[in-house]
Amino acid sequence: MLAAAEYLHGESQDLGFLESFVNDLETAGIGSEAFQYAVPPISSPLEQFAILPFLDIHIGNFFFSFTNSSLFMLLTISLVLLLVHLVTKNGGGNLVPNAWQSLVELIYDFVLNLVNEQIGGLSGNVQQKFFPCILVTFTFLLFCNLQGMIPYSFTVTSHFIITLGLSFSLFIGITIVGFQRNGLHFLSFLLPAGVPLPLAPFLVLLELISYCFRALSLGIRLFANMMAGHSLVKILSGFAWTMLCMNNLFYFIGDLGPLFIVLALTGLELGVAILQAYVFTILICIYLNDATNLHQRIDELNDLFIIEQKHKKICFDLIDGTLLAGQKKRP
């Protein structure tokens, strides 16, 4: 034991310290058989999210760093552009679409239907102005999330600064569009009609906080789901691999359960990757519709409620009239 301690403190550089160390262990009653069960230390499940700098750039007082996050974002954008180029290089695609063209058309039609359904009350030309931004957002998030499912890759959307920057930039743009279309009347979004005057200041404050937290919740939702899912898969994968390395039939049989759980969670995480891109996009469409149409949905619901009440009143009047007419006919 003394030889190992001297080596750790730098007092001995002789490679024969290992022989002395093993002899000390055997003297203490610990044989070499104990080392067959030794396994390497389990790494942290969060190390897969570490940002590693590849290239440092200094320009005056500014510092830029090309990291693994930058690399995978660049790869995602390049992959999307290459896919679109291969599909449209023949002047709009083939008459009989192949698999890649069908994939691009599927994404395009899906986002187009989403915009038409969620952003109501706008003309076709106005909707087409917002459509490219929403299509690029959905495609970028979808490919980033799916790329993170590849082993030894990097999940760009697992970092809060990425998702928060994306959500805040889109949210600021939505607010600007709301002011452009409605002017100062856009501020009425914070105060619905029919609110009593004493409650107006408190309601405006609550609506303002709720409106600002939309961007924050949008980024947190995407970041938290991607980070939590990947961490859970890494933890269970490490547990299954550790049991598999035990060189014991009992541990090997017991490893089948965690292994099937890892496979199921991988499939679930694949669905979450697609679902989170959809949720982010549909919320952007809803927020854009609220900013451009203000209280149109509330007004439509109020109109429907008024019409329903009128129909009920007419039905009750008809029933009452029928009953009165029947009573008059009786002798």
CA distances from 57 to 54, 65, 66, 136, 272 (A): 10, 6, 8, 29, 36
Beta strands in the chain (DSSP E): 53-59, 62-67
* Residue 107 near residue 75, CB atoms below 8 Å: no
Can you list the alpha helix ranges (DSSP code H) found in 66-183? Answer: 68-88, 99-118, 124-147, 160-182
pLDDT at 37: 47
Residue 328 lies in a domain: no
**Residue range(s) defining the domain that contains residue 3:** 1-38
* pLDDT, position 3: 44
Residue 248 is assigned to a structural domain of this protein: yes
Question: What's the predicted TM-score (pTM) here?
Answer: 0.69
Q: Tell whether 59 is covered by a domain.
A: no
Return the DSSP state at 330: -
Distance of CA 318 to the CA centre of its chain: 55
Let me know whether 106 and 245 are in one domain: yes
Record the tokens describing residue 55, joined without a space.
Answer: 């290239």
Residue 63: inside a domain = no
Give the Cα separation of 218 and 133 in Å (integer): 17
Q: Is residue 22 part of a domain?
A: yes
If asked whether residues 17 and 127 sit together in one domain, one would say: no
The answer to whether 231 touches 46, Cβ cutoff 8 Å, is yes
pLDDT (tens, 9 = 90+) of the chain, 331 residues, equals: 444 444 444 444 444 544 565 565 556 555 544 444 444 455 677 777 778 888 888 777 777 888 888 888 899 898 888 888 887 776 666 667 777 788 888 888 888 888 888 876 565 666 678 888 889 999 999 999 998 888 888 888 888 888 999 999 998 998 888 888 878 877 777 777 677 777 778 888 888 888 888 888 888 898 888 888 888 888 887 777 777 777 666 666 666 777 788 888 888 888 989 999 999 999 998 888 888 877 554 444 444 445 555 555 555 555 555 544 445 445 4
3-state DSSP call for residue 63?
Answer: strand
Q: What is the pLDDT of residue 141?
A: 92
Q: Do residue 136 and residue 22 come from a single domain?
A: no
Residue 91 sits in the same domain as residue 21: no
Instruction: Tell whether 176 and 34 lie within a shared domain.
Output: no
**What is the per-residue pLDDT across 8-25, written as a single tens digit (0 to 9) for each?**
444 444 445 445 655 655
Whether 181 and 226 map to the same domain: the answer is: yes
Examine residue 51 and state whether it is found in any structural domain, yes or no.
Answer: no
Query: What is the per-residue pLDDT for 35?
Result: 46
pLDDT score recorded for residue 1: 44
Query: 168 and 122 in one domain?
Result: yes
Predicted pLDDT of residue 279: 92
Task: Tokens for 170, please give them.
Answer: 């889109």
Please tell me whether residues 28 and 76 are part of one structural domain: no
Is the domain of 273 the same as that of 144? yes
Q: What angle is formed at CA 189 by the lines to CA 185 and CA 192, rounded to 5 degrees?
A: 110
Whether 279 maps to a domain, the answer reads yes
Residues in the chain: 331
Q: Do residues 306 and 193 both lie within one domain?
A: yes
Are 201 and 261 part of one and the same domain?
Answer: yes
On whether residue 330 sits in a domain, the answer given is: no
- Please tell me whether residues 153 and 21 are part of one structural domain: no
Q: What pLDDT does residue 302 have?
A: 47
Q: Which two tokens stand for residue 66?
A: 């090309």
CB 265 within 8 A of CB 233: yes
Cβ-contact 182, 169 below 8 angstroms:
no
The count of domains in the chain is 2
